[in-house]
A and B are shown apart, each in its own frame.
Chain A
Amino acid sequence: MTMAATIDKAGPRRKKKLRSMSHDRKWALRWSYFFLTLFAIFFLFPPLYTVITSLKTSGEISAAVNPWWVYHPTLSNYKELLGSSQFLRFFLNSAMVSICVVIITMLISIPAAFALARMKFWGSATLATGVFLTYLIPDSLLFIPLFKMFAVFHDYTGIQLLNHWYVLVVVYPTLTVPFATWIMIGYFASIPKELDEAAIMDGATWMQTLLRIFVPVALPGIIAATIFAFTVSWAQFLYPLAFTTTTSELVLPVGIITTLIKGDVFNWGQIMTGALLSAAPPLIIYAFLMDYYISGLTAGATKG
């Protein structure tokens, strides 16, 4: 700016204007930080309050002191929950369900996305639209017919799916596969056609083309889809609430809500600890793989 002032012969007026512009900029930046701090407080105080409460004894929680401060921090809630076989069972169920669902999702959506993006066949365009429409159908529209379907399925085959954790492995793919396929179609479509043509020319089969070329090249997309599938199946609440009731078959969110809330007695310290522990896996993934997480979110318009 001093350069501009020395070179510029127009005199003080120009100089003043330049300074006022940078001055404006500085103030705009200050205001941005101010409002961002307000937004951050709004978005972050509930998680923070979860942490605060999880560090309190039930005596301190019911005492008439400042609820936003921990006077006698203790880890007893964590010890108690992590030592309870029931809570570990919920954690295990959640992990098993989520991992199975992620594997199934990838096995279904990667070949399907490849077929839809690269190998046109009769009805493939309709199917791509159909996948997208499926993604728009919410869980709350399907849980009642699915519930009845599983009951009828039991009557016919004798296989009881309801009330077992693996029923969730059957239904969760309906939530994860359409969007994962949609992300993968986008990623596959961005891969240059010359690459697979060269492979086909060299005599590779379609399956080899997919596994040796598309999967490695589209790995960021696959990671994004995996994270998406994992977080969706980890957070899902309606299906487990409707389909499972036996305590040993529950997954984390439902388990915490049905076992830690006994009648009207709320053991808030433990509930908050449970909430925090069950929010931890998605948060850890998010902390380390934020860019993949966000690219999955912005790839195609998403749910929200």
Chain B
Amino acid sequence: MADVAINTTSRSAKAGSRARPVSGVRKFFQKKSTVAFFMALPLILLIAILVVYPALYSIHLATLNKSMQRYVGFGNFTFLFTRETFWMVVRQSCLFAITAVIFKAIIGFVAAHFVHNVPANKQRKWRGMLLVPWVVPPAMSTLTWLWLFDPSYSAFNWILAHFSIGPIPWTGDTGWARFAVILVNIWAGAPFFLILYLAALKSVPEQLYEAAAIDGCNWWQRVWFITLPMMRNIIAITALFSLIVTFANFDIVRILTAGGPLDSTHLFATWAFKLGIESSDIPLGASVSLFMFPILAIAAIFILRDINQRGNEAS
């Protein structure tokens, strides 16, 4: 209805302009869609020049040789396929992302439940404390973890020594190093899940739980048959988001292990950095980072579908 009102005014303005001729250019610049286009133009330019173009450019770069003078087609990719390290990076990226996302989701879900359980006036305080890892810049908190994992002065090993365990080579041994990077990622990412799940928990109608309590459901049944189905959407979308970000993680692995020992903790991002920037083989680095693209595309499709669905439900 409102749109109609605006349209009539613009139409009458148009009619007026027909009576009193205004130059075509000026009319063009006063048109709603033109104004809107110019308002959005900086955004369009930013995305086109600094996101879309580099993304396409990296595909072009990936087809060049190391000195970037000769076209080698899929040469970089076939070379990567023959490298054992590449397959290790693929495996480690998947292991890292999937494990970390699952644990972040579980910890976030459980912690959100406990925060939701306490009286409303105390929730703010707990939420505030539990979100701190998310606020600290990840590079800085990873430095603390690096110090906690220090080979000779590890504060963890000091505690474990009292139980005559260790010393554990946190970042020196393949298995432990993989565990360490996942642990730090879980620590830094779980609060994000906590906040979103807490918001979702608050939106579940209380009547459902009351009805369940009358029907004699126990705690577990309430979670399984009410909370989880009601939160299905937000759980899915958060997990997908987190999967993208965790898969593309750079800071934590770079600072904690720099890919070592023996490249066993490299993710696509850190390995691409090592090849592309440190060894200045830009085409090879670009090829490695392009392998992140399929998983991004798949996750993005699911997220978009979900968002469109929600939009349709809302309207």
Inter-subunit contact B137/A141 (CB<8 Å) = no
Inter-subunit contact B299/A136 (CB<8 Å) = yes
Find B144's partner among A46, A121, A131, A283 (CB 8 Å cutoff).
Answer: A46
Give every chain B residue within 8 A of A156 (Cβ-Cβ): none
Find A206's partner among B35, B61, B153, B277 (CB 8 Å cutoff).
Answer: B35
Q: From A121, which residue of chain B is reached at the shortest CB distance?
A: B33
Give every chain B residue within 8 A of A237 (Cβ-Cβ): 137-139, 250-251, 254
Chain A CB within 8 A of B50 CB: yes
Given A144-B272, A301-B241, residue A50 in contact with residue B144 (CB < 8 A)? yes
Most chain B beta-carbon contacts within 10 A, residue among A148, A193, A253, A278: A148
Give every chain B residue within 8 A of A217 (Cβ-Cβ): none
Interface bits B262-302 vs A (CB < 8 Å: 1, else 0): 00000011001100110000100110011011001001100
Interface bits A246-277 vs B (CB < 8 Å: 1, else 0): 00000001101100000000101001100110
Given A112-B42, A131-B47, A132-B304, residue A119 in contact with residue B32 (CB < 8 A)? yes
Find A120's partner among B36, B148, B244 (CB 8 Å cutoff).
Answer: B36
Give every chain A residue within 8 A of B133 (Cβ-Cβ): 43, 46-47
Q: From B129, which residue of chain A is reached at the shortest CB distance?
A: A40
Find A286's partner among B124, B135, B234, B268 (CB 8 Å cutoff).
Answer: B135
Give every chain B residue within 8 A of A12 (Cβ-Cβ): none
Most chain A beta-carbon contacts within 10 A, residue among B138, B193, B251: B251
Give every chain B residue within 8 A of A276 (Cβ-Cβ): 140
Complex Cα gap A170–B37 (Å): 22
Inter-subunit contact B196/A181 (CB<8 Å) = no
Chain B CB within 8 A of A115 CB: yes
Find B135's partner among A120, A134, A207, A282 (CB 8 Å cutoff).
Answer: A282
The stretch of B19-27, B51-59, B83-91, B167-175 that contacts the partner chain: B51-59
Most chain A beta-carbon contacts within 10 A, residue among B35, B132, B150: B132
Chain B CB within 8 A of A149 CB: yes
CB B301 to nearest CB in A, in angstroms, measures 10
Given A32-B114, A44-B132, residue A201 in contact with residue B248 (CB < 8 A)? no
Inter-subunit contact B304/A141 (CB<8 Å) = no
Give every chain A residue within 8 A of B147 (Cβ-Cβ): 49, 53, 266, 268, 271-272
Give every chain A residue within 8 A of B51 (Cβ-Cβ): 134, 137, 142, 174
Inter-subunit contact B282/A253 (CB<8 Å) = no
Given A174-B46, A304-B242, residue A256 in contact with residue B143 (CB < 8 A)? yes
Find A242's partner among B114, B129, B273 (CB 8 Å cutoff).
Answer: B273
Complex Cα gap A177–B282 (Å): 27
Which residues of B, 112-142, contact A by the 8 Å Cβ criterion?
A: 114-115, 117-118, 124, 126-141
Most chain B beta-carbon contacts within 10 A, residue among A136, A210, A257, A276: A136
Given A39-B130, A301-B237, residue A170 in contact with residue B50 (CB < 8 A)? yes
Chain B CB within 8 A of A155 CB: no
Find A144's partner among B46, B145, B282, B300 (CB 8 Å cutoff).
Answer: B282
Inter-subunit contact B192/A144 (CB<8 Å) = no
Inter-subunit contact A29/B117 (CB<8 Å) = yes
Interface bits B82-109 vs A (CB < 8 Å: 1, else 0): 0000000000000000000000100100
Q: Interface on B for A, CB 8 Å cutoff?
A: 2, 5-6, 9, 32-37, 39-40, 42-44, 46-47, 50-51, 53-55, 57-58, 61, 68, 104, 107, 110-111, 114-115, 117-118, 124, 126-141, 143-145, 147-148, 150, 153, 155, 158-159, 187, 189-193, 195-196, 199, 234, 237-238, 241-242, 244-245, 248-251, 254-255, 268-269, 272-273, 276-277, 282, 285-286, 289-290, 292-293, 296, 299-300, 303-304, 307
A-B contact pairs, 16 of them (CB 8 A): A62-B153, A66-B158, A112-B42, A131-B43, A136-B300, A140-B248, A141-B296, A144-B277, A148-B282, A197-B5, A197-B6, A210-B39, A257-B139, A257-B143, A266-B147, A304-B241
Closest 10 CB pairs of A and B: A304-B192, A140-B269, A235-B137, A138-B248, A119-B36, A121-B33, A112-B43, A145-B54, A145-B58, A111-B39
